[in-house]
Amino acid sequence: GAVVSQHPSRVICKSGTSVKIECRSLDFQATTMFWYRQFPKQSLMLMATSNEGSKATYEQGVEKDKFLINHASLTLSTLTVTSAHPEDSSFYICSADRGTREAFFGQGTRLTVV
Amino acid sequence: EDKVVQSPLSLVVHEGDTVTLNCSYEVTNFRSLLWYKQEKKAPTFLFMLTSSGIEKKSGRLSSILDKKELFSILNITATQTGDSAIYLCASNAGGTSYGKLTFGQGTILTVHP
C-alpha cells in the first residue's frame, strides 16, 4: 500500500519558538495533502488542505499565519507552527490523496510546547 | 456544515463479547463513509462504504451503510484485547478530494481479558 511518512514523530519545544513538521508521500505523487489536529481523547479535526504549487485552503477558525503550510513538491508538504504556545500542544497528522478512493495517513507528530 | 456523530463515546467489554458501534452523518453530497481504527498513532483503514445494504467484512469485523437513515454500524464479534482502540467514522463528500474527511468524535473501545 501507499506510504506516507511524517517527521518528526515527537517534538518538544519552548513557548515562542516555531516547529516544522514534514509529510512525505514515499511511493506516489500527491497533489493534495491534508493536515489534521487531534486533542487528547478527541477526534481528528481538519485544519487545512495543502495544494501543490498553490496556497493552502484553511478550515474556518484555523489561523493561516500561525499554521504555515507549504507544498512545494508533489511528495512533500510542511506544516510550520509559528510562535508556538502550550495550547498548540496536540497530535498533528497528515494524509495524502493518491487519486484513489482512500486517504493514506502519516504516523502523526506529537507536539508538546513547554 | 457536514457532521458525523458516533455513539457510544466509550465502551468497556470483556473478551468474547460482540460490540456494535454506531455512526450517523449529515453530509451534503455524500460520497462515502469510512471506518478507521486508531491505536497510539495514525488511524488504520478498516472499511469504505458507498452503497446501502452491502455488508463489508474482514475477519471478525463487519460494517454496513444505510443511506436512507444516514447511518452506519461497525460490528466486532468475539472481541479480543487487541481490539482495544479508538474507532473513528469519517465521511467524504462528492466534489472534494477523496482525502478530505469529516470525522466523528470516535468510540473508545476497551476490551478486558
E-assigned strand segments in chain A: 4-7, 10-13, 19-25, 32-38, 44-51, 57-58, 67-73, 76-81, 90-97, 103-105, 109-113
The list of chain A residues with pLDDT below 70 reads 1-2, 101
Position B110: which residue type?
A: T
Q: What pLDDT was estimated at residue B42?
A: 83
Q: What pLDDT was estimated at residue A97?
A: 82
Round to whole Å and give the CA distance between A69 and A35. 9
| Window 32-91 of B, Cβ < 8 Å to A | 32, 41-43, 45, 48, 88, 90
CB contact under 8 A, B48 and A99: no
Q: What pLDDT was estimated at residue A63?
A: 94
The pLDDT tens digits for B27-37 are 988 999 999 99
- Chain B: nearest CA to A18, how far in angstroms? 23
Q: From residue A56, how far is each of A10, A26, A44 by CA, in Å?
A: 24, 21, 18
Q: What pLDDT was estimated at residue A2?
A: 66
Q: What pLDDT was estimated at residue A1?
A: 61
Peptide bond just before B43 cis, omega within 30 deg: no
Q: Is A54 on the interface with B (CB under 8 A)?
A: no
What integer is the mean pLDDT of B16-22?
98
Q: Chain A interface, mutation test: which of B2, B7, B97, most A Cβ atoms within 10 Å? A: B97
Q: Is A2 on the interface with B (CB under 8 A)?
A: no
The pLDDT tens digits for B66-108 are 999 999 999 999 999 999 999 999 999 887 777 889 999 999 9
